[in-house]
Structure 1
């Protein structure tokens, strides 16, 4: 049994077809759309149960079942152009670009739904976690990029170390603003505030940044400021420093490794696999 296709009843004319996308999908169709959003996820007709489809996830090279859904849910997604399927009896049902854009709008909430449709936004709009486009982050690019042997350019510990430094620099207001600052409204008519007027969280973030850059060393601290603070890409860093091509990633790895060591972040968890269970009465 295969999912009945909308494409079988389409005309061979090349005229554009206007698709009516409902504002609210059914529960099964919404759950299926979310399941198909996973990396490498696809749906196939269930060979054992007629009228059902099975969703599998093969993004990491291992096919793992993600659940069973009604075939009608797949037809709903196809009719709304939220999913796509090639010809053939065993053709896979996958999420379309419109489906991913819909999920991004729903996850963004009421603040920036259509901005999130075109950008990869993260953050909660707070001083410590402002809303930003992760596709512009060189750290995120290096975490996704892989070498010839398949390993990422930076591991999870280095990525988290760079992100922690970026958050502290943002909270500490150490980077120049590109616009007006409306967060601190002055009612006394005085001039600019002195550094001692900052909040405790801001001062603590500045202390953490100072300690992290001191631990990394003066030879690599400027590189981390450009990478995590000014969000400069590898090509821009190489051009400004007149480094050879593809050499920035080697130095960045060393700098982020030192930063991760300062934060106490390890690539793998260390310690005994088991420990003796302790109770509060043991210390009485």
Structure 2
């Protein structure tokens, strides 16, 4: 990639570009992740993304980003590098069906996006359009519902002058965020406990397939099939949920078979 520093390999290309694009929008705080090998970059404007620790160190050593006092910023060299990728080939606009929003999808940003790309040998996709859109819809609701866990110090009580345990947190969320959380919980409940964890790990926490298999002690390449099965069920949930909203409710009344209302 990034011929400017040999510490970054070709395998780091897309993850590094994702971090640089994220920091291009705004600076981000570094927070501990549930995975000890990864950092969470948290921005009040752009949400959060996860990043390998070695990759973040490599970007810092290459002077593409600056890390000071637990805060990451994009450097001038990093901005110049992004200019070389103004029109990334795998950045497309996707309208999610049965939803009121459109989004820019970077196919290299998540394992789900990589699986959605066409196989060069067969010319076919492993995931169908419906399965991919269902995963992106879950991820969008998860992000907008502010459901990414925060495991750093809790400053809420200091800022809001509330004692721990009092109403706050969820009470302060907007109605839109609460609706997003409700949709995520309902979707995962319909998918079931056997597959909901895989959808969360890959679609929402952006964990790689190999990492999921290691954490769950699954056979090699099994996460791929479990993900596809979960996305298929998730798509069926969204389709049924959309159809149920259009069902007309019958009106009942008491009356004889030849009853006619008086005008």
TM-score between the two structures when normalised by the length of structure 1 = 0.45
Higher relative contact order (CA 8 A, sep 6+): 2
